[in-house]
Amino acid sequence: MIVEPPSTLRLTVNREALAANWRTLDTMSGTADAGAAVKADCYGLGVETCVPVLRDAGARAFFVAHWSEVADVVRHIDPEQVAVLHGVISDEEIAYAKAIGAIPVINSLDQARRWRAGGGGPCHLMVDTGINRLGVAPNEVGDEAIAALDIDVLMSHLSSADEEDDAVSRLQLTTFRTVIPQVRHRAASLANGAGIALGPDYAFDLTRPGLALYGGVPRADMAGQLRQVAFVEAAILQTRTLQAGDAVGYNGEFVAQNDMPVATVSLGYADGFLRSRGPGGALLHGDIALPLLGKVSMDMVVVDLSQAPDLEEGDWLTVPYDLRDAAQQSALSQYELLTALGRRFRS
C-alpha cells in the first residue's frame, strides 16, 4: 500500500481566488481575451493544480517558456492553445514542436527560416519593441522570412508596465502599432498583467497575465482587485527555552538577552524562504507575529515564541505570502517569492 508521505510544509492554492483573478483580468482586458502565462510551473504554484482552474474559468491561450514545460500543460489543454515563448533554436526543438503540437513563438529571422525549413505551420511572432531580450526588430518584419510564416498571434512584450510612469510603455505601444499593418496575422497581443491596467489601448486581441493571476499585484492601481492565491504554512519541529546569552543558528547571529521561548520551524532557503526574509521578518500565528531569530538555514528557521508560548511541536505557522507586503519586507520581487517555492511543497 502506498501512503501519502506526511509533510511539515503546506502550500494551499485557493482555486476560487485563482479563477476570480483570471475573470477580473479578462474583464479588465475589455474586448480582448485574457490568456494565461503558466511558465515555471504556474509561477511555482503547480501546473497540475492551476491549469485546469484557468481553463475552466475560460482561458484559451497558455504561455510557457520552455519546451520541457509543454507536456504537463497539454495533459489539460489542446496543444494548439499552448505557446512556447523561447521559440525554436534547433532542429531538435522543431521536431519536438511538431510531435507535441504546441506553437512556437518565433523570435528571430533565423528561427523563422528554421521553422519554415522544418515544414512550418502555425506560429506566433514576437517583435521586440524595446525590451531587448527576444524578438525580431521592427525593421526586420518586412523580411521575406517573416512573410513566409503562418502567424497566429503577433506579439510584443512591455518592459516597464509595472512603473507608475507610462512613458516607456507608450513608446513601445507606438512602435507596436507601426508594426501591425506590416505583418499578416490573426490576432495581436501586447499586455502582460501590469499592461492590462494601462488601459484599452494596450489590450489588442489577447492579453497575457501571469503574476496577477497568482495573486501578485504588479501595479499599485491594481491593489484590491486581485485576491491572494498562495497560502503557505510550516510546522513547528521543536520548542525550547533559551537562557540569556544563548546564540541561535549558524554563526550565532541572534543572542538572547533574557530567557525566552523559541520554536524551530520546518522551513528554510531550500523551500524558497531565502535569507533576505530572515531578521526583521516574522512568521504568523493568527494575527500574532513571531519574529525570526538568526540566520535562515537550508531546512529550518527559529522564531521567538514569547507572544505565543503555548505553541508546541506539530503546530502550524503561517508564512507571510501577501505578495506586496512580503516583497517590501524582503527586498525580493513578488515573482521571486512565488517561483522560489521549493519542491518540498509539492508532496
Residues that bind ligand PLP (CB under 6 A): 37, 39, 85, 157, 192-194, 208-212, 218
CB of 198 to ligand PLP, least distance (A): 12
CB of 255 to ligand PLP, least distance (A): 41
Distances from the Cα of 252 to the Cα of 246, 269, 273, 295, 296, angstroms: 8, 17, 19, 8, 11
Q: Is 39 a catalytic residue?
A: yes
CB of 5 to ligand PLP, least distance (A): 32
In terms of CB distance, is 209 or 272 closer to ligand PLP? 209
36: left (phi over 0), alpha (psi -120 to 50) or beta: beta
The answer for residues whose C-beta is within 8 angstroms of residue 255's C-beta and 6 or more apart is 245, 246, 247, 248
The answer for residues whose C-beta is within 8 angstroms of residue 190's C-beta and 6 or more apart is 155, 156, 157, 158, 172, 173, 176, 202, 203, 204, 207
In terms of CB distance, is 64 or 282 closer to ligand PLP? 64
User: CA-based diameter of the chain, in Å?
Assistant: 76
CB of 117 to ligand PLP, least distance (A): 25
In terms of CB distance, is 44 or 342 closer to ligand PLP? 44
Judged on CB neighbours under 10 Å (0-12, 13-18, 19+), 171 is: middle
In terms of CB distance, is 138 or 261 closer to ligand PLP? 138
CB of 129 to ligand PLP, least distance (A): 12
Helix (H, G, I), strand (E, B) or coil at 301: strand
Judged on CB neighbours under 10 Å (0-12, 13-18, 19+), 260 is: middle
In terms of CB distance, is 73 or 211 closer to ligand PLP? 211
CB of 275 to ligand PLP, least distance (A): 25
Active-site residue identified among 39, 96, 214, 295: 39
Residue nearest to ligand PLP (CB): 210
In terms of CB distance, is 189 or 297 closer to ligand PLP? 189
DSSP string, 5-64: PP-SEEEEE-HHHHHHHHHHHHHHTTTSEE-EE-HHHHHTT-HHHHHHHHHHHT---EEE
User: Rounded to 5 degrees, what are φ and ψ at 136?
Assistant: -75, 150
CB of 273 to ligand PLP, least distance (A): 22
Active-site residue identified among 43, 202, 214, 250: 250
Q: Say which amino acid occupies 182.
A: Q
Neighbours of 137 (CB within 10 A): 14
The answer for residues whose C-beta is within 8 angstroms of residue 161's C-beta and 6 or more apart is 169, 191, 192, 194, 195, 197, 198, 202, 218, 219
DSSP string, 311-339: --TT-EEEEP--HHHHHHHHT--HHHHHH
In terms of CB distance, is 91 or 201 closer to ligand PLP? 201
Q: What cell does 313 get?
A: 511541536
Return the active site residues.
39, 250
